[in-house]
Structure formats: C-alpha cells, structure tokens
Structure 1
C-alpha cells in the first residue's frame, strides 16, 4: 500500500505568487527540481522516509513562468525509488525544455538505459546519505560499476553525499570514469567550514575538472534562516575553484524543510546578490547547464 500515513507529511512550498527582482538570461536552466505526484497517478514507494504533498508538473511550470526560467532538470526524488515514471512523463511533455536525472537499479538492462537516454535523461543519482552503514565509507566499487554502464551515453553521476564525511574525496575519485555532480554545495553543513578536508577535496575535484557543483539548497546546510549568511563563503569558494563547473537550481518543492520555508523568488535574488557579475551568472545559469545536460541551442520560448 502507499498510504500517506506510512511516512511523515512534509511542508508544501510557499504558494505566494511573486517574481524575483533578478532577470534570468535567455535559456536559463533550473538544474535541480522534483516532480512529485499526483500520488493517485504516480504512487510513492512504501519505503520512503517522507511523504511530499503533490508537487505536480503543472505547478512547477507555473513556478518557472513566475521566476522567468526557461528550462529545467528534473531529478528523481527518493520517494519514488527507482520508479522513474513521474519524471519521465514530465520529460515527455517538452523534450527541448526538460532534462532528467534518474535513479536506477544496478541490474538495469542496456536497452532500458538507451530508452532513458532517448527520453532526455542525462545523469544518474546515487544517494549515499540515507544508507544504513556508513562505516565502510563510499561504495566506490558500486559507484564505479554504475559509472562504466553510463559512460557510453555521456552521462554523469550525481552524488548526494555529505562531503565532510569523506576526507579522501579527491583521491577516491581522481580516476573516476564519468563526471561527478555534487548537490547542495557538497552537502557539508556550514559548521564544518570551508577548510574541512572533505570540502577541500571537492574543491580539488572542481579545479581538476573532475566534478561539478550544484549551487542549491543553502537552507539545508546552515542553521539560520534566509539569507543564509553562513553559506556565502561556500558560494565564493566554489566560484574561485572553477566557475565553469557550477550550475544552479531551485530545489523546488523543498521537501523535508523543517525550518522557515524559503520563497523561490528570494532564492533567485540570493543568487543575484551572491553572483553579481552578469557574465558569470549567465555561465552558471545557461552556458554551463547546456554542456552538462546536453541541451540544444535555445531559440526562444520552447
């Protein structure tokens, strides 16, 4: 069964209709968002740890219009496990506008990988945060095996991991077969600081063009509410390391946020204040995502 009582219900995103002050460049991409539901059509997995309110494609399309963002990358949320149907259904509505990051089973057939590629998937997400036994460190053999499977498609591996837990991060991934993408600035809480060995390893991977960083979810990794001042230094450090390997995302619908729910317009304007140079902002919002997610040239409303 898929009862909403099986896991705690999390808060819905802020419904206020309000556009940001920042004007996004043409072809801008929200590189991290989730589509959840409708639950009656795409039921959530029984083993999920939270239950999101429906956050449908229609709602998300309205958000993109409100923000002035042209394109988006839909990332498979953990509530669906390896059932990518909701995400794939969304991709099918506009293949030029949407790209996807899927979650797969290790024994997936090559033909299914090909089908995902044709649907617009350009990466695989691996969650090593919510694992039972972290004493063994990163499951590098499993990650490498997945990477070799997806390498022929030119995909990347998106890793949801707390980089502060892995002081040997740079050495571990020095010869990894595909590009790595780390969400939420590396998901290292602000209290560990930018000199933490794991975060420094992430910066080294960035400098060596071995990894990308998603400038997403600052509210997830600091204790304060907006404007998340503790996270500014992390923003500055990744820019200094390699601005050509950075992308931005809204993290809508902000699942499992237990403090003040951010408004997406404010998150957009926060990026504007943290990345004031317009050319750099254009690179992060448009140019870099086009390379990472294999987008076609932007030719206006798509």
Structure 2
C-alpha cells in the first residue's frame, strides 16, 4: 500500500509564476518533453522510486501550455511513477487529442496492455541509463520490450550521459525501432561542442535512425541561470551544443520544457526563459518551425495538420 510522503529533501518546487516569453512560438508548437507528477493523492508514486517529487498534475501542465503559447504536449512517464502509467495516460486523454504519451513498461507487458496504451495516445517507451537513477543498465529489459513494441510503430526514448555512450552505442544501434535521445545525450559542456565526446555523439546520431531533444539547458549549464547578455538569455554555455545539433540534424530535432523539472536541487528554471532560449539555438524561422512544429508533428501526429 502506498502512503503519502513528503518530497525528497532539497527538492525544489516547480516555478510557480513563469514569465511571459519575449519569443513568440510559431503556431502549432509542440512541447515534446514534459511530465506529470501525481497528484499523489490520486496517482501514488512508485514504492521503488529514487526521488519523491512535489505534485504537478495535468491542470498545472495545461495552464503552462496555454501561457507559453504551446499547442500540444508529449507527456513522458516520470520515473517516480514506475511502470504505472495511470497519471500520464489520464493527462493524455484529458488533452483531447492535443497530447501524446511515452510510457514505461516491464518486459512481461502483455500485448493487450500495449494496444490499450496505443489507443490512449502512447507512441513510445522510455528507458533510463543514467547511473544515479537506475540500479543497473536495463539492456535485457529493453531488448525484450523493443521487440514487442516494434510492430506498433513506436519509438524508444533513451536517457543517458554522453560519457557512457562508448559502451552503449553498439547496443543502441542494434535496436529495431527509431530512437529519441533526451537532452542531447547530456554532454559535458566543459568539453566543448567541437570536442571528441560530443562529436562522437553526433556521429552516432548520423549513423542511425535517431532524433535528438534540444532540451534541458538548465541541467547541462555550468554558468547556470545568470544572464551573460541580458536577463532573457541564460545558459549561454549550452547554446553551441544545441545550435550544432539543429544545424546538422534539422529534420530530427525536438524541443520540450521538461516541466515540472524532475529532481532539481540547485535552481528551478523559469519556463518563460526556457522559451526565450530557443532563438539562440534555432536562429531563423525555418529552423524554429522544423524544431517546434514540423518534426514533432511528423513523429507524433503523422498526417495531421498542426
């Protein structure tokens, strides 16, 4: 039985009053990476979770969507909910066609459950390879699940750190579905966008059917939220990485807020500033439309108009 418990000490609540962005998102823009947390009174967190978040339910997500000028969301199952996708599916259904979902499932998942998730709007599964968040790399589970979801046309979302790519890329490249990489593979920005580590990541993207999320500068930045060139432009040390991905793989890039920003203890980003970060990495209208509208629509709503 799950019981309510306080959030993990040091956890920061999501930014309560985000600023209005100065950058106007193109019509039909998609937030392709966000989450819902509970609320835990209705959707309890998993007993095996690595952290306990604050509540951040669908009502708050949809309010942020409307404030920022976002048209649609892709709601990614949060690790704190384990393989119980109820909160995510509830939010996707409540969006009335304006959301898709990414699930977490176990290797013994039944075909009937996968079909039910597909009917609800789920289009992929997510696997976490970040060492501090998992007990062991889930390669065996992913191999089994990839085989089960391939007939549905789903993709696999991968969360890992670039330093671990050398030992993982052979396995990733063998998977029978498209891949979507969270947060540019979490590069070490101190090593530079032209350095060997990030160049290796880009070569991996080039060789395989891989999409890349240009997301979470707040997680990657060393300089942090302090502005270097005016208060609307934080995280400038991450800009060269995002810009390189957008320039080299413009038809396979996605963007998202990562709201409610899981497991942050240093600072909580202002989602309005995250929107204003976008023109720094996608510098013209064509790049912006592909990143924010055309690409996510092609992946998540194929055949539909934005």
> Structure 2-normalised TM-score?
0.89
Distance 1:111 1:298 in 2: 30
| More divergent stretch after superposition (170-179 vs 230-239) | 170-179
Distance 1:186 1:98 in 2: 24
| More divergent stretch after superposition (30-39 vs 174-183) | 174-183
1:49 to partner: Cα distance = 2.0
Distance 1:222 1:17 in 2: 20
Distance 1:10 1:152 in 2: 39
Q: Does the CA contact (< 8 Å) of 2:162 and 2:187 recur in 1?
A: yes
* CA shift digits 1:110-166 (9 cap, x unpaired): 111010000000010011112234xxxx55443232211111111110011112212
Aligned residue runs from structure 1 range 276-291, under 5 A: 276-291=283-298
Q: In the alignment, is residue 188 of structure 1 matched against residue 187 of structure 2?
A: yes
Structure 1, gaps ≥5 residues long? none
Match of 1:251 in 2: 258
Aligned residue runs from structure 1 range 32-71, under 5 A: 32-71=33-72
Structure 2, gaps ≥5 residues long? 226-233
> Structure 1-normalised TM-score?
0.91
Distance 1:114 1:105 in 2: 15
Distance 1:119 1:155 in 2: 13
| More divergent stretch after superposition (205-214 vs 261-270) | 205-214
Aligned to 1:157, the other structure's residue is in SS state strand
Distance 2:138 2:104 in 1: 16
Q: Does the CA contact (< 8 Å) of 1:18 and 1:66 recur in 2?
A: no
| More divergent stretch after superposition (93-102 vs 187-196) | 187-196
Match of 1:132 in 2: 135
Number of positions where the alignment pairs a residue of Structure 1 with one of Structure 2: 295
* CA shift digits 1:73-113 (9 cap, x unpaired): 00000110000000111111134200000000110001110
Aligned CA-pair RMSD: 2.0
Match of 2:163 in 1: 164
1:240 to partner: Cα distance = 3.0
Match of 1:150 in 2: 149
